[in-house]
């Protein structure tokens, strides 16, 4: 897997996270999971637990519910393959925090344009 961004788009619970995890593992680089989800309720808490169990201990997990571009910058040090899961939840978190969504998206786009490690980004398809 070369440096740059791979975008995985799919329906809710369609297997896109597991697919993205396999891509990252196949790279042979150190896997880093940037988690944007927050356990707002029991269902989300269960989903987070299932994802953690599936990944196992070989993954470094970084919680990044709001500061996504900063988390990518901190982890893209060379030799890592980074999985961002997912953009949909990140945008939701920004909305809930009444953050500057346009500014955060611009910062993310700038970061992804210059990142030296491969980054796999997962997002939900919400109505094609």
Catalytic residue among 51, 72, 91, 104: 51
Q: Is 75 one of the annotated active-site residues of the chain?
A: no
CA angle, residues 63, 65, 70, in degrees to nearest 5: 75
Contact between 38 and 44 (Cβ < 8 Å): yes
**Dist. CA 106–CA 110, nearest whole Å:** 6
72 and 119 Cβ atoms separated by less than 8 Å: yes
Structure token digits, residue 76 = 């893209």
Residue 80 belongs to what H/E stretch? strand 80-85
Q: Which residues are catalytic?
A: 51
């Amino acid at each position: 897997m070369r440096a740059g961004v791979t975008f995985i788009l799919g329906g809710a619970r369609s297997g896109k996270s597991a697919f993205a995890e396999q891509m990252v593992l196949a790279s042979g680089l150190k896997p880093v999971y940037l988690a944007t989800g927050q356990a707002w309720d029991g269902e989300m808490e269960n989903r987070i637990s299932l994802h953690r169990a599936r990944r196992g201990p070989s993954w470094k997990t970084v919680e990044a519910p709001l500061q996504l571009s900063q988390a990518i910058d901190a982890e893209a040090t060379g030799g890592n393959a980074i999985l961002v899961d997912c953009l949909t939840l990140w945008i939701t978190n920004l909305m809930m925090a009444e953050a500057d969504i346009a500014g955060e998206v611009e910062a993310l786009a700038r970061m992804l344009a210059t990142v030296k490690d491969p980054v796999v980004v997962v997002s939900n398809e919400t109505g094609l």
